[in-house]
Amino acid sequence: MRKTLLLLAPLVLLGGCTWGINPDPGSNSVRTVWTGDVSGCRDMGKITVGVQDHVGPFDRNDIKVRDELQVQARNSAVDLHADTIKPLADPVDGKQPWEAYYCGSHAVGPSAPPPIQGNSQQPMQNAQPPAQQGGGFQTYPAKGG
């Protein structure tokens, strides 16, 4: 029994870790819009990103997975010379498609992320676009709280 717990402990601990996915230089200026009109923006291309969403038989924290997907999409947007990204669908098996845009001075209103499936709480409404609040990272409500 003790041996089994010792073998499983690293897997459980890894389930909550980030996997070295950090913002690249310049990605803090990339805005994320969850909903909203991007018709005045120039389409710069599609981005599909992926992260590990489970470790062995254990699912990783959904919020961490979504945050890492957003960081990767913002990092990729810099390479496309885009300043705005918008998700095209919810994550599936640790992968998520995004569209990258160059909006320049075209104002795209702030938006909050959609609620995470199975979560009855509504996301927090931001008064400003995420890029103007701590580098553009989005906060999701905790599950089951």
CATH of the domain at 96: 3.30.1660
Q: Which of 22, 30, 18 minimizes the C-alpha distance to 74?
A: 30
Burial of 49 per CB tally in 10 Å (0-12, 13-18, 19+) = buried
At 105, give phi and psi (nearest 5°). Answer: -85, -5
Token look-up 């569209």 returns 99
Closest by Cα among 35, 32, 49, 26 to 101: 32
pLDDT in tens, the chain (145 residues): 555 444 444 444 444 454 578 999 999 999 999 888 898 999 999 999 999 999 999 999 999 999 999 999 999 999 999 999 999 999 999 999 999 999 987 666 655 666 666 554 444 443 334 443 344 455 455 555 4
Please state whether the predicted TM-score (pTM) of the whole model is above 0.75. no
65 within domain boundaries: yes
For residue 48, give Cα distances in angstroms to 45, 55, 74, 87. 10, 21, 11, 10
Could you give the number of structural domains in the chain?
A: 1
> Tokens for 20?
């070295």
Whether residue 12 lies inside any domain: the answer is: no
Is 70 inside any structural domain? yes
